[in-house]
Structure 1
Amino acid sequence: MHAGMTGADGWLLGALQVLALAEHELLVFAAFWFTIGLFDELGLDLAYLWLRLTRRTRTVRLAPGYGVDRLMGPVAVMIPAFREAAVIGTTIAHALKAWPQQELQLYVGCYRNDPATLAAAMAAAARDPRVRLVVHGAEGPTTKADCLNRLYRALCDDEQRRQRWFRAVVLHDAEDMVHPAALQAIDAAVSAVDFVQLPVRPGLLPQSRWVAGHYADEFTESHAKALVVRSALGASLPAAGVGCGFARVALERLAERRRDAGEADAGPFAPECLTEDYELGLTLSAEGRGSAFLRLRDADGNLVATSSYFPARLDQAVRQKTRWIHGIALQGWERLGWSTKPVELWMALRDRRGPLTALVLVAAYLLLLIDAILLLGEAWTGQALFVPLSAPARVMVVLSLAGLGWRLLARLVFTAREYGLAEGLRAVVRVPVGNVIAIMAARRAVAAYLRSLGGGDVVWDKTDHAAHPATARLGKVRA
């Protein structure tokens, strides 16, 4: 302590010493969980590298012209829409042009209290008999699953009336831009499995490089590595809700199960669940003919994937990820339970780690703030304020830092491979943006889940969309 330090200075020193103890505990807590996370990610990365080295997984290159052939049977594409007048017309028009097959039937679900979306959909349909507009009898929004169930009932009615049975059902959102080869690829895949998922490739928004851009980083790594490993290991695959196809008989099997449970006129989708697509994919992966994840590139090297623009504002991104964390991490734990199979348990833990990850990130960022205060305190008091770490704690800190470097490198490589080196470098800088969104979304998700336990309604907290990738020039993809 400097000579002449007053009583107030002594009080400050005491407060800083308490803060140093808190810093030590936070450091041990964060380092422990970061080390656990390192081994989790390292296990996935090693599995992916092994699959690549042994050529057990690869991206298939399609022949020129693939995607325009006749389908093996009728295929229904269901698109729920509420307050999507700005994009639904483009989605319909682009899908009809990209998929010329007459076996296609597009089911678009609108609400009676949303005339703007209905009008935009009607204009885009342009009397094409392949488009079926279905108006929900309830005031919107209900839930996405409820709207899908209404479309499913319309599909069943059409089958009975025409005596023409659909072979597969594909799900898309109102803002999606489909790939021309996607429909034929899904149609072929459901010959062998009950559920197939194609990648999602977020479009880049120049006016939102950081908030919207972080989705590109996360989806690219997840759909180029994590889902590839899950599929190769035989683990259940979650459905993304877009670019996913289901065998028609598999959906009817789920609908019958819900009706047998006492839900009159039930469809295959769970309206009480915020992430009905995720749950549906896991369920069908674990039974029947299972599932498959397809990574394909067309003759020009473009990924056969669903493109869309993700939220550009912080509040929108937080709302969207709140729904994901609520449905996957919290409702998933409650509704799906836990598997005793090691691979399934591992993947369930990865899927449901959102709230814990947010807590650890809060600890880490709070730790940085405390460290800055303690450094200033040391300069002011001349006293050593940091509590020494034990040998195991030092090892965990080193592993945590090494793991951070490895994760940043992986993020750079996967994003750069799909979007180019400039975006790969931005992906590294965008990591804190994703962390902040995850923290804010986890807090809201836990609060929403607690409200639902108290009897609160589950509602479609949907994202608004103002732009569509089909009307803009997407960034050039890399082969």
Structure 2
Amino acid sequence: MVTLLAGLGFARNELLLFAGVGLLLGGLDDVLLDLLYAMRRLWRDLTVYRRFPRMTAKDLPPPGVAGPIAVFVPAWQESAVIGQMLRRCLSLWANEDMRIFVGAYPNDPDTMKVVTEVIERQGEGKVQIVLNSLPGPTTKADCLNHLWLALRQWEDRIGRQALAVVLHDAEDVVHPDALRLIGLLSPRFALVQLPVLPLVSTRSRWISGHYCDEFAEAHGKSLLVREAMGAALPSAGVGCAFSRGALGRIAAARGERPFDPQSLTEDYELGLRIGEDGGRGIMVRMRDASGELIATREYFPETFGAAVRQKARWMNGIALSGWDRLGWSGGFREGWMRLRDRRAALAAVILATAYLAFLLSGIVTVVAWLTGLPQPPAPPMLWWLLTINFVLLVWRLAVRLMFVWQTYGPAEALRSLPRTVVANVIAMAAAQRAVFAYVRHLRGAPLRWDKTVHRFPEESAVERG
């Protein structure tokens, strides 16, 4: 029994050391980003906003002044939500100079029927359905490329070019002032990203709710620091606008296919490609007349399996395939940001090791208590490492609580603390799925649209945010 206890103690110490070093590096990385955010905010408060008032929606130009804006909505089996989404767009953007291109598939008659009904009732001249040449599902990028070709044909017919191309999903809840804001900024920026705010789901406070925590911090802090550093700004895939010129240059270099059909995260990659080509991106946080953020809202996956599938696709496309496809070009600042993007898979391994180490610590304690033997000692350095990591954990939770509080209020902010465990479990499961999917793709498995079931909110849910 002494030998068993000694072996368990040795394994515990080794696992704690590996996890501790990994968590320390990740924690210091996060603290550095937090400090940069604080410095940026302080500088802007002391300089920019002392001389100029903050812009709000009332300072935006009237609808339709900037020029035609194309809205791309790829849709595969989205009959449950696409009709409500399009009707909301047509109602809120009635005075905008815009055209919505909806990508559909010949073997998805339900989606085609709903879109056609919307066009016949209120979308004549504003909505165009674009049928894919292949049965679905293909990749989302392939669907977007069909929409790009349809846009080119429409531009030829009207004799004008679109000012910008806006990406949305079929379940998105758009903001009334979104196109006005995009129209103002698109002449100056190659990529305009509006915040994405997950809607709070009463059906899934813990699984769907963890997206609220992550996006509140990512779109309230991380992307702002990234922009300030001059690193390329990745697109979130919804609520984002590419200038027509920037997208056209990429399309010309790719045989009129600006979105790479071999990518799982075509929107993320396109943002980085635009940065590599010298285009500037901006993460813009502006409030409307009622004080709410001009943002895109939507429900995120509400079940464990759906969340794991979505996170696995992101992890595969950014951390694994993205490493192969995009490399590490761009200097230190760009490299640091890409390292942060790609650390997700390794972070999941470190998290799993940490949980295993604490489980093993409990086993060692129980065995020592049952046998009356002393517990195997841990090196003093390990205790220092654990103490520092505990302080970093408290800091991390406090920062997240602050950003969730600002976006969703105190109730969701307090829920964000235990939801960290839920997010960690989802991340670990997603990492395993992502690695398996990546290996299958390396062996020749084709990429397919990994479908997520969506729902559109009631108006009251939109108002609650």
**TM bracket, shorter-chain basis:** over 0.9
Match of 2:236 in 1: 240
**What does 1:230-379 correspond to in 2, within 5 Å?**
230-259=226-255, 266-339=256-329, 341-379=331-369
For 1:240, give the aligned amino acid: A
- TM-score with structure 2 length normalisation? 0.95
Work out the CA distance in 1 between the residues paired with 2:95 and 2:412: 36
Work out the CA distance in 2 between the residues paired with 1:163 and 1:475: 40
Structure 1's 134 and 314: CA in aligned 2 closer, same or farther, altered over 3 A? same
Superposed CA offset, 1:409-428 (max 9, x none): 11111101111101000001
Structure 1's 425 and 298: CA in aligned 2 closer, same or farther, altered over 3 A? same
Match of 1:263 in 2: none
Match of 2:130 in 1: 134
Q: Percent of aligned pairs with the same residue?
A: 45
Work out the CA distance in 2 between the residues paired with 1:67 and 1:81: 31
Q: Does 1:77 align with 2:76?
A: no
Does the CA-based 8 Å contact 1:94-1:470 persist in structure 2? Answer: no
Larger displacement relative to structure 2 (268-277 or 339-348): 339-348
Aligned pair count?
A: 458
Structure 1's 68 and 116: CA in aligned 2 closer, same or farther, altered over 3 A? farther
Does the CA-based 8 Å contact 1:67-1:181 persist in structure 2? Answer: no
Q: Does 1:440 align with 2:429?
A: yes
- TM-score with structure 1 length normalisation? 0.92
Work out the CA distance in 2 between the residues paired with 1:193 and 1:61: 17
* 1:394 Cα deviation from its structure 2 partner: 2.7
Structure 1's 21 and 244: CA in aligned 2 closer, same or farther, altered over 3 A? same
Does the CA-based 8 Å contact 1:111-1:136 persist in structure 2? Answer: yes
Equivalent of residue 124 in structure 1, options 118, 121, 138: 118
Larger displacement relative to structure 2 (280-289 or 220-229): 280-289
Match of 1:106 in 2: 100
Work out the CA distance in 2 between the residues paired with 1:475 and 1:385: 56
Does the CA-based 8 Å contact 1:61-1:299 persist in structure 2? Answer: no
Work out the CA distance in 2 between the residues paired with 1:340 and 1:67: 36
Does the CA-based 8 Å contact 1:204-1:475 persist in structure 2? Answer: no
**Local SS of the residue matching 2:100:** strand
Work out the CA distance in 2 between the residues paired with 1:339 and 1:381: 57
For 2:82, give the aligned amino acid: I
Does the CA-based 8 Å contact 1:177-1:470 persist in structure 2? Answer: no
Does the CA-based 8 Å contact 1:274-1:326 persist in structure 2? Answer: yes
Match of 1:205 in 2: 201
Superposed CA offset, 1:279-315 (max 9, x none): 0011112324421110111121111110000000000
Larger displacement relative to structure 2 (64-73 or 118-127): 64-73
For 1:41, give the aligned amino acid: D
For 2:134, give the aligned amino acid: A
Match of 1:22 in 2: 11
Structure 1's 102 and 225: CA in aligned 2 closer, same or farther, altered over 3 A? closer
Does the CA-based 8 Å contact 2:72-2:167 persist in structure 1? Answer: yes
* 1:220 Cα deviation from its structure 2 partner: 0.5
Equivalent of residue 162 in structure 2, options 139, 146, 166: 166
* 1:390 Cα deviation from its structure 2 partner: 3.7
RMSD: 1.6
Larger displacement relative to structure 2 (34-43 or 98-107): 98-107
Match of 2:145 in 1: 149
Structure 1's 88 and 309: CA in aligned 2 closer, same or farther, altered over 3 A? same
